[in-house]
Amino acid sequence: MTPDQTTPSDPTTRYDQPDPEPTIPHPGRTSDMATEPDHGEESYRGSGRLEGRRAIVTGGDSGIGRAVAIAFAREGADVVLSYLPEEQEDAETTARWVTDAGRQAVLVPGDVREEAHCAEIVARAIAELGGVDVLVSNAAYQMAQEDGILGITTEQLDRVMRTNLYAMFWLCQAAIPHMAPGSSIITTSSIQAYQPSPELLDYATTKAGIVAFTKGLAQQLADRGIRVNTVAPGPVWTPLIPATMPGEKVDGFGEDTPVGRAAQPAELAPAFVFFASAESSYVTGERLGVAGGRPMP
């Protein structure tokens, strides 16, 4: 049974740990998973906190991105969904949840590793929604390497850096000139920025960079009334996990947290809503960790 977001519950038993999961092809589709994540489809209840806002969510097809899109729509926002072309099926599912909430969904397939595509995402938001009030840079790439740095090819390093860092930079460059005071930029960092896993060295490096970028950009944009914050998840059950990690790492994923399990995407969405809404109007340059009790400095 999907937990009700409004009912207090024991976090250690709120969700069952996923069953053993076979690896799936990258980039990973939700329908390929033996245990599909909860994105808040049946539980998230909006209260108008983003009424009339226009949001971009990269990586919006599945996982955290889908949960954020559903929550934003139920809070009253229209949403541009950015995703890889091979994730079309998942993106269309997310779009249906957005439109079911009575909001507009704009689908923009493409690869954020290309600067021109990042500009196109923002241009579509302006053309079809009339502007951008919230930018969520969430798309990410990782691929675990058991041999550590010796197993990371230049091709992989380039893909991780361009997806996780370059795209965030380009999206902000394209969006900021069109963002009015009161707008919000939300990046997605990770506990990996503070507790890097050896097999995810390149990914962890980008996540640390995202934290620094967020703090620096927040200072640049404060006088323009644009806030910049980051959500730092711990282990979250998404298609990226069985698509990029070896089977022995997937089984029991998240059990080493104090809470004893991985998060579900639905548990991340409220943090993004907080940063996107006026409830955080005096918060900028901050990191909100959602990591099941794992400490971050």
CATH for the 49-290 domain, from 1.10.10.10, 3.40.50.1980, 3.40.50.720, 3.40.50.1000: 3.40.50.720
Angle at 198 between CA 22 and CA 268, to 5 degrees: 60
User: Among the options 83, 194, 203, 282, which is catalytic?
Assistant: 203
- Residue-level pLDDT, tens digit, the chain, 297 residues: 477 767 778 999 999 888 777 899 988 999 999 899 999 999 999 999 999 999 999 999 999 999 999 999 999 999 999 999 999 999 999 999 999 999 999 999 999 999 999 999 999 999 999 999 999 999 999 999 999 999 999 999 999 999 999 999 999 999 999 999 999 999 999 999 999 999 999 999 999 999 999 999 999 999 999 999 999 999 999 999 999 888 888 988 999 999 999 999 999 999 999 999 999 999 999 999 999 999 999
pLDDT at 8: 79
pLDDT at 179: 98
pLDDT at 124: 98
pLDDT at 48: 98
Q: Indicate if 203 belongs to the active site.
A: yes
Q: Determine the Cα–Cα distance for residues 185 and 150; give it in Å rounded to an integer.
A: 35
pLDDT at 22: 85
Listed by start position, the domains of the chain span 49-290
